[in-house]
């Protein structure tokens, strides 16, 4: 085993792992708050990627410049989804809740294909591509600038999320609602607004992920499906509802996926099998996931 190759694999695994973590954290946030799995999560990601694409192709904005707008738009989409759909099915049977978001996802995917065609798009990102020619060499390891920027932004987002949830009054109110909705309401917390905020935050996180992912991944209507499955496994591995869990699990999934074929010398074709096997091994020992509470 060549040490340089292993180092490269670890670096690549950590970079993509940060993106997986960022995609997953929105999902886990919403689940932790109200125990609803957002099956349209992948489609939120897809819409964010298209937002970056159209920002570039229609307005000429670099994806890094349109990023705040993309995050804002997705926040809005999250709030609207809550107000328009989720709040109406809060007390509906679980299956209704599942199929509401699942249906929303299929609907959004169909809409995207109808209006924007199934064609593959990619976004020019002149700012990131221009930084040291789009790649950095650290010793023997080559890192793509867009991938590194994505990982860095994901790290910052996690930090901000942690500070917000753990240190701000609103964040504490969110936690209170997640803990016990009825008691929180008695304490004067408007749980409805907290839910809306949770959906907004969750969607904003996946919006950020989509905006940075668009700089190095192609965009098409079903792109969300590729990442949604990884997001579900990440959330389950990290523990439903756990923000630090999403971070650790995202990094683990990225590492296992990229490093295990290199380390153990098997065909990369089995990398997803290894990821899922790893997940199974973890849930056998800790059914609630690494950081799950129950």
Partner 1 sequence: MRRHHRWNWNALAVVGLLAPILTLSAGGARGAIQDATPAASPVAVECPPDAAGAPEDGVVRVGVILPLSGTAATVGNDERAALELAVEFVNEDRAEVPLPLAAGAGLPTLDGAQVELVFADSQGQAEVGQSEATRLIEDENVVALFGAYNSAVTRTASTAAERAGIPFLNAESSSPDLTEQGYYWFFRTSPHDGTFSEGIYDFIESLNANQSAGLETVSLLYEDTDFGVNSAAALTEQAGTRGLTIAGEVRHATGASSLTAEVQALQQQAADVLIPSSYTTDAILTVQTARQLGYLPQMIVAQDAGYADPAFVEAVGADAEGIATRSAFSPDIFEVKPVAGQVNELYRAATGKDLYDVPARGLTGMLVLLDAINRACSTDPEAIHQALVDTNLGEADTIMPWTGVTFDDNQQNELGRGIIVQVQGGQYRTVFPPEFAVVEPVVPLAPWDQRP
- Smallest CA-to-CA distance from 64 within 247, 250, 222, 216 is with 216
- Fill in the DSSP letter of residue 121: B
Torsion of CA 73, 77, 78, 82, to 10 degrees: 150
Shortest Cβ 230–partner 1 spacing (Å): 6
Helix/strand/coil for 134: helix
Shortest Cβ 68–partner 1 spacing (Å): 25
Shortest Cβ 74–partner 1 spacing (Å): 20
Nearer to partner 1 among residue 81 and residue 262 (C-beta) = 262
Nearer to partner 1 among residue 68 and residue 118 (C-beta) = 118
- Fill in the DSSP letter of residue 221: T
Cβ neighbourhood burial of 60 (10 Å; 0-12, 13-18, 19+)? exposed
Report residue 40 as tokens: 């349209």
- Smallest CA-to-CA distance from 248 within 162, 164, 172, 189 is with 162
Interface with partner 1 (CB under 8 A)? 2, 5, 8-9, 12-13, 16, 20, 31, 35, 37, 39, 42, 94, 98, 102, 109-110, 113, 117-122, 133, 135, 142, 144, 147, 216-218, 220-222, 225-230, 232, 236, 240, 254, 257-262, 267-269, 271-272, 288, 292, 294
Shortest Cβ 94–partner 1 spacing (Å): 6
Nearer to partner 1 among residue 102 and residue 164 (C-beta) = 102
Nearer to partner 1 among residue 160 and residue 280 (C-beta) = 280
- What whole-number distance in Å separates Cα of residue 218 and Cα of residue 58? 18
């Amino acid at each position: 085993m060549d040490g340089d190759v292993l180092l490269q694999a670890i670096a690549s695994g950590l970079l993509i792992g940060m993106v997986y973590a960022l995609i997953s954290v929105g999902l886990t946030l919403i689940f932790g708050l109200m125990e609803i799995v957002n099956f349209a999560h992948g489609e939120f990601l897809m819409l964010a990627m298209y937002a970056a694409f159209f920002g570039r192709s229609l307005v000429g904005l670099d994806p890094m410049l349109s990023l705040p707008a993309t995050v804002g738009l997705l926040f809005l989409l999250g709030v609207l989804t809550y107000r328009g759909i989720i709040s109406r099915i809060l007390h509906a049977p679980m299956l209704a809740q599942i199929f509401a978001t699942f249906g929303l996802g299929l609907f959004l995917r169909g809409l995207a294909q109808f209006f924007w065609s199934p064609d593959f798009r990619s976004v020019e990102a002149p700012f990131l591509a221009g930084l040291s020619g789009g790649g950095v060499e650290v010793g023997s390891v080559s890192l793509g600038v867009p991938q590194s920027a994505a990982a860095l932004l994901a790290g910052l987002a996690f930090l901000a999320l942690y500070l917000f949830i753990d240190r701000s009054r609103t964040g504490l109110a969110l936690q209170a609602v997640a803990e016990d909705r009825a008691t929180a309401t008695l304490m004067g917390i408007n749980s409805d607004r907290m839910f809306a905020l949770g959906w907004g935050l969750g969607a904003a996180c996946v919006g950020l992920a989509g905006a940075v992912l668009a700089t190095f991944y192609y965009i098409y209507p079903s792109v969300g499906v590729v990442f949604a499955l990884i997001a579900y496994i990440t959330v389950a591995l990290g523990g439903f509802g756990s923000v630090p869990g999403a971070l650790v699990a995202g990094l683990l999934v990225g590492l296992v996926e990229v490093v295990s074929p290199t380390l153990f010398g098997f065909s990369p074709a089995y990398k997803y099998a290894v990821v899922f096997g790893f997940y199974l091994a973890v849930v056998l020992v800790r059914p609630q996931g690494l950081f799950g509470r129950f």
